[in-house]
Each structure stands twice: as C-alpha cells, then as structure tokens.
A and B are shown apart, each in its own frame.
Chain A
Amino acid sequence: MKLKKKIPVIDQGDKLGFWGGKFGGNFVPETLKKPIEDLEIQFNKLKSDKNFIRERDKYFKNWIGAPTRFIKLNNLTKHVGGAQIWSKVVSDANGGAHKIYNATVHCLLAKRSGKKVIIGDTGAGYAGKMLSMAAKKFGLKCKIFMGAKDIKRQQPNVKAMKKNGADVIPVYSGSQTLVDAVSECMRFWVANCDTTAMCVGSTVGPAIFVRICGWSTSQISRELKVQLINEFGKVPHKLKLYNCVGGGSSSFGFWNEFMDYDKKQVEFIGVEAGGPRKSKKHAAPLTYGSKIGILHGAAQYVNQNSDGQIEETESISAGLDYPGISPLHCFLKDVKRARYTAASDEEALKAYQIVTKYENLRPSLEPSHAFSVAIKEAKKFSKDTVVIINSCGDAYKDRGILEKKLGKKYVKSN
C-alpha cells in the first residue's frame, strides 16, 4: 500500500473505489448503483470544470466567508511553553463549522442535476445545519436525519435547522445517534433516489461521497497554505497539524494540501474521541485497533463485535460519536502518513477550559479533543515548531453540555 505523490488522495482509489486496495468501495444495494454512478460521472466532470470551480469559489468567498482566520495563540503559547501554537479558525465560516463546504458543494451538484430535494444526516447537528442553510440558499427542499439522542443534546443546531425550513426527522433505532441517522438517511435515499439528492455529512459512505466531501473541505488547507506563506514566507520546516477525527472530514480537509510534504516536515495528528475515562466504549477505531468491517457502504476500521454487529460508541462530542472512520484516514494510517491518538471526554473538557481561559476562542467539544493532545505535546517541542489546531467548530452548540459539566461561568457569554 502506497501513498502516491502529485495525485489528490481522493483520486487514488482503484476502479471499484478502494483506497490501498481495501478501504472504501461501494457496498450498496443494487437500487443505489445507478444514482451513485450518475453522481460519479457528474462529479468527475465538474471537479475539473473551470466554470464550476469559479462558481464554487464565488460561494466559498462571498457566502461562506473564505478565508477563515489563521491566528497565533500567544497566551496559550506562553502558558504551555514550547512550540508556537496557532489555530486555523474554521468556525469563522458561515454557520460556524467546516461542514458548510461539503453542504454547499452537494447543493451545487443537486441543483445542476435538477433534483428538488436534498437529504442529509447529522450528528452534532452541524452537517444538518449547514445543509439546511445551503439548501435554503439554493432553493432546495431539505430533510435532515438525526438520532433522537443527538436531538436532545444539540438543541441549538436543531433550532437552526428548523429555522432554515428543514424537516428534522428523529431516528429512534439503535443507539439513536449519528450511526443510525446515516443508516436511516441511506434508507430514505434507497426509496427516493429518483427525485432526491443525498449529502453524506462526512468523508464516509460510498466512495463518491468520501471524494466529494474531501474535495470540498480541502478548501481549509488551500487557505492555510497561502496564510502560512504570508506569515512565514514558506511552509515552516517543523509543522504539526492537529485535528479531531470523527468521520474525518475536517481533518482530511486540513491536511490535504500538505499531503506530499515529508512527514518529518509536516506531521498530521488525528485525535479521536476516547469517550468517558471510565467507560470501555469509545469512538476511536484507529487508536484502539478496531478491525476492518463494512459500515454505510464502505470498508473501514470500525468498532464491531466478533460477529460483525456494529458497536455502540460513547463520546461527549456528538460530532465524533461514530463507530467507523473515513476510508481516507484508514489509508493514511496504514501508509503511516498520519498519526492517530485519542483524547477522553474529561481531557477535552479540560482543554476547553484552558483554551477559553487564555484565548478569545471557543472551540466546540470536537476540536477541544485536538487541543487537548496539542497542548500536551507542544510542551515538548522546540520554539521553532509550529503547531496548528483546526478549530473547526464553535462551542455555541455545546452550551447545554458545558453548563452541566463545568458550570454556568463557562457559557455566560453565549
């Protein structure tokens, strides 16, 4: 298995959509073969179509607000003592998270194919919120599938989706979280694929959805590369990019432009959700050595029992609470381009407290996982090491959980 240079990772899959010969693919019911093939043809054509790229960039700039800020966290750097700590504040993006890139691209594709309805899944509610925003912007009807447990714990985003005119459909099956929402969304597509477009909310699902999402979120690293050159005159020679990993859409997008650099120069660190410290459950299939299995149409490392039943996960962060992981990350792990580790619920909360104490930045619980590991490791690095954390979501949606866990003072300004 080898990572090729000069070919985008999203295009390194084989004819059947497998990365490294074994991750990804299209494990889908026969009914979905045709709509998936249609989408493949459309995307393969448009991704190198100048007009389409121009249209995408126009919306990314004028509507999403590209580029998002790249800032130095001076106080945190001083407090930690070690590497320089920076953040790419992707939560600046319209809607407050990176999910807007994928949602926008899917709506553009749906518009072009003449579909009137777009459906999507959501965990933390960001993918759903952004899809509802984009659907409204482009005049599409929108349905969002969301686990009943997540609806309870991510109310601010649920309200936002409804305000944007989307139907939020609660999913009561299984663990009532993201994994069940994705299943239900795919089932709805099976029954309605002739009139409806589907947006998978992360770099997961059948290969084409992995590719579209990775292509969309790569905006993050495109911006970052320019910002690094503006700031340092070049890509620093010791660069470490920390990102939380649930399905893996923000981390993939944060790393993509730097893929061809030697990992000694640009290291990628993915932080999975380790779950509560005292629980055996987690959402960290790469860190804890889960076996390869099939989930939602793709082969990937996934939490499962010996029979192949998918296991329930547990994490304070709804956005990371997924038993599988993008085939792209399975591939990057096995070719050793990226390093993966996990942070527990408690560590993420602690990191949130530290960051908000020292900086005017409120990372949501998802990037707080990445901050936790970055803060720990930055201590040991030299001053010329540049550590960047992708703050890919805003804590506004988490205020209920934060208030419960940390008390009112941590959420008062929201």
Chain B
Amino acid sequence: MLNPISLAFKQAKYEKRPALLTYTVAGDSSKKQSLEILKAISNYADILEVGVPHNTPVADGGQIQTSAYRAIKNGIKMNDIFKIVRDFKKIKNSKPVIFMGYYNMIFQYGENNFLKKCKKSGVNGLIVVDLPWPENKIFSKKCKKNSINFIQLLSPTTSNKRLESITKDSHDMIYYISMLSTTGGKLKVSPKKILANYHKIKKISPKKNCVIGFGITEKTISNFKNTDGLVVGSQICKEITRSLNNRQNPVINVSKIVSKLRKKIS
C-alpha cells in the first residue's frame, strides 16, 4: 500500500498537475485557529506542511518568523502541536501532514519519543531544516522504520556528488530549495534555471517525488506547472498577519488564497 504522501502525488499526477503543498505554523495565531486554517485549506491543498515554531530559526525569513514568534508567544508547546494534528486527522484522516522544523525540538523530545508521538498523531513526514545529510542518516533510518517519510532537502549549492548520495538515501519525497534565500525571499532566479536544476534531480532520481519550495507565490506558481509538487509558505503566513492586522478572519482569507493557488496549477 502506498503511504498517504505518495498517494497524494499520484492523485495529483492523475489530474495532470503538481501537488500543492502549503506551509502554516502550528499555533498561529492560536491553537484553535491554526486547526481551523488546516481544515479549511485542506480542501485545496494536497499535502499540509505544519511548521513547528522555533525561536532561533536560521533559515526562515520575516514572514514565517513573525508567525512562529506569534505562536510561541501564544503559548504553543510541542504536545499542543501533536494534538492539532491528531484533531485534524480525526476529520481528514487521508490528508498527509508533514512537520517542518528545527532539530532541537526533536532532540529535546527524544528522537524515539518524537517518532512514536508522530505516528500516534498521524504525522506522515518530517522536514528538519538543520539536520542535513549525512548528519541525518541515523535519524532518517529511524523514521523509515516508523513509516514516516524523512524528507531530504537539496539546494542550488548541493554538489552533484552530494545530490546522488542524498537522493539515494531519501525516501519517497525530496524537497528542492529553489534559490539561495531564507524562506519568503523574492524569486531571484529565473524559473528556467530552477526547472533545469529540478530536471537534473529528476534525471538522477526519476521515481522520487520532488517538490520545489522558496519563492513560490500566487505570482510565480504557474511557471512550474510541470513538476511533481510546489510548496507555498510565506505568502500564507503573510496573509495571516495581514488579516490579523485588519481584524479580518484569517481562516477565510487564507483559504481563498490557497484555492486561487490551486486553480493556477490546475
């Protein structure tokens, strides 16, 4: 049986479009509201990345930092984040959920405990921003044993040799960082160049689902229609901030954006 993540890619491929992955921060702006946002956007998104907020993020730009600090300030704890996923999965059991965060949160929870809890709550995959290959070898094996997808990251600075080793050690999904940037940067590289790198990865590893993230927004997304999947994060976080500042309902506004994104690639 295919795992939910691979199934989501298969379904999108069947519909001849890339899978849409969204990123929102757990607990932004509150536990309840972030669950409502997940429920609402899951009508349009294929895979939900749930950000585990951390207060010394070394790879996140302003928008996601703002969301993360807001969530932490409102008291979000690791166990609350697991609960959000569990509650979400009660309603949408088949929708894949991926955690994205920094290693210290896993390290403090204990790797084994963390994975056990992931499994129990229904987390299907993990992206650990600051646990690169080969440092992640042991942990990614542990993930596999627990049927959790450990998603390896690739970037424009990744050498060909590394690329081969990393894809070899990767599970069903890989994540290509489109450019040298923190999250939320403007797309400073031409889509053509990004796609060339994407195809290089696909050539080495044709069976793995490769998604592109960083700099993907409503404006840029339609350039990448012929890919396995696309991640939008900062634009969504920004919309939450904007809605809160204008005293509007972020749940409605964010789901509008995600529905638009979906239309652009359908």
Q: Does B131 contact A (CB under 8 A)?
A: yes
Contact B180 A296 (CB under 8 A): no
* Interface contact A29-B129, CB-CB below 8 Å: yes
A30 with B56: CB separation less than 8 A: no
CB-based contact B153/A30 at 8 Å: yes
Is B55 a contact of A293 with CB atoms below 8 Å? no
A residues less than 8 Å from B191 (CB atoms): none
A191 touches B132 (CB 8 A): no
Query: Which residues of the other chain, B, contact A173 by a CB distance below 8 angstroms?
Result: 65, 69
Chain A interface category by residue count? 35 or more
Query: With an 8 A cutoff between CB atoms, is B4 at the interface?
Result: no
Q: Does A310 sit at the interface, judged by CB under 8 A?
A: yes
Given contacts A34-B157, A190-B181, A192-B180, contact A16 B55 (CB under 8 A): no
Q: Judge whether A31 is part of the interface by a CB distance below 8 angstroms.
A: yes
Chain A's closest residue to B60 (CB) is A187
Q: Is A33's beta carbon under 8 Å from chain B?
A: yes
Q: Given that A174-B69, A191-B181, A307-B78 are contacting pairs, would A29 and B104 also be in contact in the complex, using a CB cutoff of 8 Å?
A: no
Q: Are A33 and B77 in contact (CB under 8 A)?
A: no
Are A294 and B104 in contact, CB atoms less than 8 angstroms apart?
A: yes
Contact present for B158 and A34 (CB under 8 Å)? yes
Q: Specify the chain B residue showing the minimal Cβ separation from A295.
A: B56
Q: Which B78-125 residues have C-beta < 8 A from chain A?
A: 78, 102-105, 107-109
Residue A308 contacts which of B60, B109, B132, B133 (CB distance < 8 angstroms)?
A: B109
B156-171 Cβ-contact flags toward A at 8 Å (1 or 0): 1111001000000000
How many Cβ-Cβ contacts under 8 Å join chain A to chain B? 110
- Docked Cα-Cα span, A32 to B177, in Å, equals 12
- The interface centre, meaning the residue of A25, A34, A291, A308 with most chain B CB atoms within 10 A of its CB, is A308
Give the shortest distance, in Å, between A130 (CB) and chain B (any CB).
23
18 contacts between A and B (CB under 8 A): A29-B59, A29-B130, A29-B132, A30-B155, A32-B157, A33-B162, A174-B55, A174-B56, A183-B57, A187-B59, A193-B157, A194-B157, A294-B103, A295-B56, A306-B108, A307-B109, A308-B107, A310-B56
Q: Give the nearest-CB partner of A191 in chain B.
A: B181
Q: Are A191 and B102 in contact (CB under 8 A)?
A: no
Q: Which residues of A contact B55 (CB under 8 A)?
A: 174, 309-310
Smallest CB–CB gap between A257 and chain B, Å? 32
Q: Report the count of interface residues on B (CB-CB < 8 A).
A: 40
For the complex, give the distance between the alpha carbons of A29 and B59 in Å.
Answer: 7
**Is A308 a contact partner of B105 (Cβ separation < 8 A)?**
yes
Known pairs A294-B107, A304-B104; A187 contacts B158 (CB<8 A):
no
- Is there contact, CB below 8 Å, between B56 and A179? yes
Decide if A293 touches B104 in the complex (CB within 8 Å).
Answer: yes
Taking the complex as formed, is B154 at the interface, i.e. its CB lies under 8 A from any CB of chain A?
yes
Cβ contact within 8 Å between A308 and B108 = yes
Instruction: Report chain A residues within 8 Å CB of B77.
Output: 307
**Who on chain A is nearest to B62 by CB?**
A173
Q: Does A354 interact with chain B (Cβ within 8 Å)?
A: no
- The complex places the Cα of A192 from the Cα of B180 at a distance, in Å, of 6
Q: From the candidates A28, A183, A186, A306, name the one contacting B132 in the complex (CB within 8 A).
A: A28
Partner of A33, one of B103, B105, B158: B158
**Roughly how many angstroms separate A34 CA and B160 CA in the complex, as a whole number?**
11
Chain A residue contacts of B107, Cβ below 8 A:
293-294, 308
Min CB–CB distance A187 → chain B (angstroms): 5
Chain B residues with CB below 8 A from A27, complex form: 103, 130-131, 135
A191-B185, A307-B77 in contact; A296/B58 too (CB < 8 A)? yes
